[in-house]
């Protein structure tokens, strides 16, 4: 069963002025699409062909013979997760049990933001910043290239893509501005709360 490129959960211009339709035309329609096509080609007629995306990621992680499979499978998963980590009119502060959990595990929402911004800003080269659940505790992490919490047995709640193609058309070399904009105007706290409740 071949994988297909999922539609964006909103119109390509829905996140303007914070993320442009032009960025999505490259990021979703070209980068994400290429990962899907590459993955389908790599797993065709192999033992992974009928596996779920999550199963492929777990089976190929740290397998030197399946580096290409892992990179493309994880990037398909990461990008789909990233699109859902944002929404029109996003940003602000979480509420309910997610807000309580953030305050309990980080000390305050401001402390979480500080840790998240630092992780996203200090990921050298390409990678991701995550809010995740690890053994019942919320943590912030950063991963290089295609790596994600799923590969490490953790539960992702939301992510920010800090590969240059995620922000360069809109922010050029100003990654910190992109990170701040994500938290202030784009982040989908409902999605994160849903992921937390599913993991509980």
Which domains are seen in the chain, by residue range?
21-84 (1.10.287.990), 96-199 (3.55.40.20)
For 134-187, how does the pLDDT look when each residue is reduced to its tens digit (9 = 90+)? 999 999 999 999 999 999 999 999 999 999 999 999 999 999 999 999 999 999
pLDDT at 95: 95
pLDDT at 174: 95
Q: Is 152 annotated as a binding residue?
A: no
For 77-91, how does the pLDDT look when each residue is reduced to its tens digit (9 = 90+)? 999 999 999 999 999
Average pLDDT, rounded, for the chain: 96
pLDDT at 1: 65
Instruction: Report the alpha-carbon distance of residue 109 to residue 98 in Å, rounded.
Output: 10
Q: Which one, of 115, 89, 80, 78, lies nearest residue 189 by Cα?
A: 89
For 44-73, how does the pLDDT look when each residue is reduced to its tens digit (9 = 90+)? 999 999 999 999 999 999 999 999 999 999
Q: Is 100 annotated as a binding residue?
A: no
For 89-142, how does the pLDDT look when each residue is reduced to its tens digit (9 = 90+)? 999 999 999 999 999 999 999 999 999 999 999 999 999 999 999 999 999 999
User: Residue 23: CB partners within 8 Å, gap ≥ 6?
Assistant: 166, 167, 169, 170
Residues 3-31 have a mean pLDDT of: 96
Q: Is 161 annotated as a binding residue?
A: yes
pLDDT at 190: 98
| DSSP letter, residue 64 | G
Residues 7-31 have a mean pLDDT of: 96
How many Cβ atoms are within 10 Å of 131's Cβ, its own excluded? 27
Q: For residues 78 and 115, is the Cβ–Cβ distance under 8 A?
A: no
Instruction: Report the alpha-carbon distance of residue 37 to residue 3 in Å, rounded.
Output: 8
pLDDT at 200: 73
């Amino acid at each position: 069963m071949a994988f297909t490129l999922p539609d964006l959960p909103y119109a390509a211009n829905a996140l303007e002025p914070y993320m442009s339709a032009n960025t999505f035309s490259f990021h979703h329609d070209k980068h994400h699409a290429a990962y899907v096509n590459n993955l389908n080609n790599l797993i065709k007629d192999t033992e992974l062909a009928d596996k779920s995306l999550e199963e492929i990621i777990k089976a190929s992680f740290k397998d030197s013979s399946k580096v290409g499979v892992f990179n493309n499978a994880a990037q398909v998963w990461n990008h789909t997760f990233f699109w859902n980590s944002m929404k029109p009119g996003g940003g602000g502060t979480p509420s309910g049990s997610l807000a309580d959990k953030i305050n309990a595990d980080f000390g305050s929402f401001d402390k979480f933001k500080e840790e998240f911004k630092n992780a996203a800003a200090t990921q050298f080269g390409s990678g991701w910043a995550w809010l995740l659940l690890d053994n019942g505790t919320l943590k912030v992490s950063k991963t290089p290239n295609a790596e994600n919490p799923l590969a490490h047995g953790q539960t992702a709640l939301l992510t920010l893509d800090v590969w240059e193609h995620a922000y360069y058309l809109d922010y050029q070399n100003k990654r910190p501005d992109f990170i701040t904009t994500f938290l202030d105007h784009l982040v989908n706290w409902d999605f994160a709360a849903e992921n937390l409740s599913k993991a509980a």
